[in-house]
A and B are shown apart, each in its own frame.
Chain A
Amino acid sequence: SQTIHQWPATLVQPVGSPLSLECTVEGTSNPNLYWYRQAAGRGLQLLFYSVGIGQISSEVPQNLSASRPQDRQFILSSKKLLLSDSGFYLCAWTRGLGEGTQYFGPGTRLTVL
């Protein structure tokens, strides 16, 4: 069976500090991978998606970046965090040729102070 991991589960960072969130998927090959952010009481905002190693598409211009160094690893980064980067970050995967049903990780709660 497939599983998706995210870490850390919670993170408190000062403004201006760097960020690195990691997501890994087990039990499948060549998944499509996604990063979402959810502000408190709000819907899911798609940040980045990837259909393969080194292939990253950005949906929303901001001070975040994503990388996919391995087939089942997806990393979200920032060089300098802003207060507005606070939120709940979710990683998700889909089968490349499937109907797009997404399987979400447990999420990372980021608070920027």
Chain B
Amino acid sequence: SQKIEQNSEALNIQEGKTATLTCNYTNYSPAYLQWYRQDPGRGPVFLLLIRENEKEKRKERLKVTFDTTLKQSLFHITASQPADSATYLCAPTGPSGGYNKLIFGAGTRLAVHP
């Protein structure tokens, strides 16, 4: 069955450092992969999408890589701030068109300390 693994332990880093979160998946070949941010008591919010033919995607302080050989995506937040503290979810996704079913990882909680 399809499986998504994200670090279950919280990631604690100092303000200003780069946070790196890992998403590994097995038993399927997604056409693209999405990252979401979830704050306590709120619904997830879409951050970035990277396609299988893209190695890297950037948006402001965020960077995502996608290695289809390793079946892994890395999510980086540079110059991290306490406001970046949240849970980050990855969702490898099938081909577009029609119904798209996302399977989310359990998420990694990031805590950025001043």
Residues on A close to B: CB < 8 A? 32, 42-44, 46, 49, 51, 88, 90, 92, 94, 96-107, 109
Contact = CB atoms under 8 A, between A and B. Distances in A.
A43 B96 contact: no
Contacts of A32: 99-100
9 cross-chain pairs, A with B, having the tightest CB-CB distances, nearest first = A100-B100, A104-B43, A43-B106, A44-B104, A99-B96, A100-B93, A51-B99, A90-B43, A101-B46
A43 B42 contact: no
8 contacts: A32-B99, A43-B89, A43-B106, A46-B103, A90-B43, A97-B98, A99-B93, A102-B91
Residue among B34, B44, B100 with most chain A CB within 10 A: B100
Contacts of A92: 43
Contact of A43 (B32, B49, B100, B107): B107
A97 B96 contact: yes
Contacts of B42: 106-107
Contacts of A51: 98-99
Contacts of B32: 99-100
B98 A49 contact: no
Contacts of B98: 51, 96-97
A51 to B, nearest CB: 5
Nearest to A102: B102
Contact of A104 (B41, B45, B103, B105): B45
Residue among B44, B45, B107 with most chain A CB within 10 A: B44
A44 B43 CA distance: 10
B101 interface: yes
Nearest to A109: B41
Given A90-B43, A106-B43, A107-B41, A99 B101 contact: no
B105 A43 contact: yes
Contacts of A90: 43-44
Nearest to A106: B43
Contacts of B46: 101-103
B114 interface: no
A4 to B, nearest CB: 9
